[in-house]
A = this chain, B = another copy of it.
Amino acid sequence: MNSSQKPVKGRPKYIVLTGGVGGAKLCQGLARVLEPSQLLFVVNTGDDFTHLGLHISPDVDSLMYALAGLSSRERGWGRDDETWNCLETLKKLGGESWFRLGDRDLALHLKRTADLAAGKTLTQSIASIKKGLRVKNRIVPMSNDPVRTKIDTDEGMLSFQEYFVSRQCQPKVNRVVYQGTWDARMASSVHTFLQSAELRGTIICPSNPVLSIDPILEVEGMRDWLRFPHTPRVAVSPIIGGEAVKGPTAKIFKELGKEVNAIGVAKHYGTLLDGFIYDRRDHYLETRFKGMPLPARSTDTLMQTDADKEALARNVLQFIDDISLENVFGKLEPYDA
């Protein structure tokens, strides 16, 4: 997905925290304007689960398919060139068919499951699979250790997939728990990347803060590192005009008693941020953002075309540059791109 145009060249490196489909769009934009060596995508694996004996990593797969240019636009998940013969047959045989496994997608899960059974780490398996998909960007799981996001709802404790797919986000969320984070270590490639002299900033993608980004932050060492960074940390709001572009972010924010808008997202991340980007449609929030100690910018964050993705990526990178300069030359004024 790297375009031939690469205006931002050379050194600076960025670590990018991302979850599912929304985050993957910004990653695509970043991959279009930066060299693969400049980016490390750290992906949520709290939604990983075992289904029919297969290890499934939904967010990693969404990102790989997006970067390979294989994502289905119509469906919003999975591959574009998909067939469903296995799933249809499985249904006839009385097998579990609630999770929509395409024939081609299945190959990826079989490969990963075989890799893990052979003793490879998730990082190694992803590296091998993305090579097959001709993706050149570096993609690492937030941890090679298992973390499982559980949703404490009015129907009891549900796994992410039970909540998201089987129950279609209908139960009321009381609390979200990230099982395994205490024992989960950052993938070693994240450590190495964080220590590189060229690191220019951290980007938090417009993914669900509670379900996709928080699990990453909970991995041992990650939040600590983000608390004392040498470089700016910038997040993009996944909520536009009081609604999430996709998924249950708005509903969950409401149920958790958070303000359902970009302010709520900025407050959720709190002091972990040096900059915040919200949508130009939410310009009415400008005064409130001006009253906060966090530099914020509004721009077009709704990524429908590749050009949209690329434009948002450039805005995020520019914002990081501006914050870096501010650290040298003094306070930064909010601005509207």
Residues of A within 8 A of B (CB): 52-54, 83, 85-90, 92-96, 103-104, 106-108, 110-111, 113-114, 117, 128-129, 131-133
Contacts and interface: CB of A to CB of B under 8 A. Distances in A.
Contacts of A95: 107, 110-111, 114
A229 B45 CA distance: 60
A93 B106 CA distance: 11
Given A53-B53, A53-B54, A117-B53, A110 B86 contact: yes
B114 A86 contact: no
Contacts of A110: 52-54, 86, 90, 95
**A89, A94, A133 interface centre (most CB from chain B within 10 Å):** A89
By Cβ-Cβ distance, the 7 closest A-B pairs, closest first, are A89-B107, A93-B132, A90-B107, A85-B103, A95-B111, A103-B103, A89-B104
Contacts of A133: 92-93
Contacts of A103: 83, 85-86, 89, 103, 106
Contact of A132 (B52, B94, B129): B94
B128 A94 contact: yes
A114 B51 CA distance: 9
A294 B228 CA distance: 89
* Integer count of this chain's copies in the complex: 2
Given A53-B113, A88-B107, A94-B128, 14 more contacts: A53-B54, A54-B110, A83-B83, A86-B86, A86-B107, A87-B107, A89-B108, A90-B111, A92-B132, A94-B111, A95-B107, A96-B114, A103-B106, A106-B106
A85 B113 CA distance: 18
The winner among A85, A92, A117 for most chain B CB atoms within 10 A is A85
A83 B94 CA distance: 20
Nearest to A108: B93
A77 B244 CA distance: 50
A106 B87 CA distance: 9
A54 B107 CA distance: 13
B113 A93 contact: no
A317 to B, nearest CB: 32
Q: For A93, A106, A133, which residue has the most chain B Cβ atoms within 10 angstroms? A: A93
A87 B104 CA distance: 8
A67 to B, nearest CB: 15
Contacts of A113: 52-53
Given A85-B85, A103-B85, A104-B85, A53 B90 contact: no
A315 to B, nearest CB: 35
Nearest to A111: B95
A110 B91 CA distance: 11
A239 B64 CA distance: 52
B83 A114 contact: no
A89 B88 CA distance: 19
Contacts of A117: 53
A108 B54 CA distance: 14
Central interface residue in A94, A128, A133, by most chain B CB within 10 Å:
A94
